[in-house]
Structure formats: C-alpha cells, structure tokens
Amino acid sequence: MKTLNLGNAGLTVPVIAVGCMRINTIDRKDADRFVKTSLDLGVNFFDNADVYGDGACEEIFSAALTAVKREDVVIQTKCGIRKGRAFDFSKDHILEAAEESLRRLRTDYIDVLLLHRPDILVEPEEVAEAFGILQASGKVRYFGVSNQSPLQIELLTKHVKQPIVANQLQFSIAHANMVTEGLHVNMLDDGAVGRTGGILDYCRLKDITVQAWSPFQYGFFDGVFLGNSKFPALNTKIAEIAKKYGVNDTAIAIAWILRHPANIQPVTGTMNPERLADCVKGSEIQLSRDEWYAIYLAAGNILP
C-alpha cells in the first residue's frame, strides 16, 4: 500500500483511509472480517466520528480491534456536531467529546482528531485551550478540521499552536468543484463561481492533507455515480479505461482522485471487503493526463 505524509506532522499513513460511518449497518462477524481485510490490504487508517451511529460506530469498530496491537492502526475521529441542535467547538464540548470517543474506542489516545464541520460561534481561543490540554495529556496526537474554508482555518491557526494536518472535504468525479473553479478563473460561466474559497490550493500551500469524503457520490448523499443512468457518458468512459488497466470502475474512480498532485486521500465508505480491495487496486494505477481530463469531461464538465 502506498503511503503519504499526513500534513506536515510527520505521520505516515496509507493513501486511502477507511471510513467507518456505516459499520453499524453490518453485524459483528462482518465487522470483524471487514477490519481484518482492511489491515491485510495494508489500509490501517480508520476514520470515525462521534456522531456516526450516535457513537455506536466507534464502539463496533473498537470491538473489531480486540486482537490488533494499538500501534498497528491509525485512528482518526471527529467531534463538534451535536446532532439536530448545534455545532459546538467550545472548549468544554471538545474535551468531553474526546473523552467519550476515547472510552468508546477503548484506547488511551486518538491519533487524529478533526473538528467536524464549522461552528459559526467558534471562539478559536477555546479551541486552542482544548487542543493544548488534549495534546499535553497524550490523549490526542494530531489535529485537523472538516469542511472548512481557508479563512476559517486561518482564524483557528491564529490561536491554535498545533499544525492542522487534514481538512476533510467532499470530492469526487461528480462533485469536483474544488478543481472546476481553478479551471474557470476569471470566466463568466457557472464553473467560475468560487464556492470553496480556493481551498484546494490553500491546503497545498499550507501542507494540509485534503481527505476526500464520499468519493463515489454526487450531490449531497444523492447517490453514487458509478452504474447510475444519470451519468451514461461518465460510466462509459470509466469502463473503457478500467478495461485498459484490467480493473473495475471502483478502482478508476479512486485512481482519478489520487492522480491529482495534491496527494488527496480518499475516505472510503464501503463495508464490503471486496469493494475495499478494488479501492486499493485504484491506488496502484497512475492515470495519464489525457485519461484524467477525459473522465472529468465525461462527467459533464467543460474546459473554458
């Protein structure tokens, strides 16, 4: 399994992260098998969040690790969402959420803790205090964010001493506005609308790893584009390139993300061990420039 450096923290991780948001949809035996398969494939970086299954996903995941040495896995989780009520980056909530995640994960430390979506009422001084306490106590090693803009990260880093190592953002072939707005600079078409604030280039400049969530989805959980009749040209092109490399469409969708020089790390969401293996095959493929652009255009995007 290929690896990358997560931000500038000196932490080496697989180029693919295993998302555990749906691990509560399978039984214990299948969860054990899935985690074992992930490790056998060399994908030992697992992404969780306290809101996934209202905490159940962290518990199920940790139960599947009973025969695994803690140092052999990298555990990332997220906090900051009080479901249906508020986003909360207060010092007290971050500290409480981290303790609860530690308990559910049955571990003494979390490798990476991300702030989950922006809290508009954030007081960065409180975040700095919380991060300082968690790091000094050894309970969290590294910190990051999710779905945040360049200026939101700048506001945090004005006070937070620890480097922000990751920013988890939605990105896929069919949700590619992070690259589209870069292609349409100074144009008057819809592609030129700056919805991300230049977050992709910002993260590259600041050595922040972009983690791509929902790498097979279009819209906001509207469904997957692979095999979807709404994307005939895209699926035809992906199938053509998949045949050339002797893999399936899942591998090509992952390879497309990994081809970007920003070293974007896809966060898979599948609980199917065979499909995860297909994702890993995608990490072994280096698409050509022409292939990357052909897939981008087949998704309905245009070049100015």
Active-site residue list:
52
Cα–Cα distances (Å) from 122 to 82, 97, 126, 156, in that order, read 14, 16, 8, 9
- Closest residue by Cα to residue 76 from 5, 4, 168: 168
- DSSP, collapsed to helix, strand or coil, labels residue 267 as strand
Cα–Cα distances (Å) from 208 to 1, 262, 303, in that order, read 21, 9, 27
End-to-end, the C-alpha distance of the chain in Å comes to 37
- DSSP, collapsed to helix, strand or coil, labels residue 28 as helix
Distance CA 279, CA 242 (A): 13
266 forms beta bridges with: 212
Sort strands 3-6 and 140-146 into parallel, antiparallel or unpaired. Answer: unpaired
Contact 160, 143 (CB under 8 A): yes
Helix-strand-coil split of the chain, %, nearest 5: 40, 20, 40
Contact 181, 198 (CB under 8 A): yes
Distance of CA 28 to the CA centre of its chain: 24
Sort strands 140-146 and 11-14 into parallel, antiparallel or unpaired. Answer: unpaired
Two structure tokens written together for 206: 């600041």
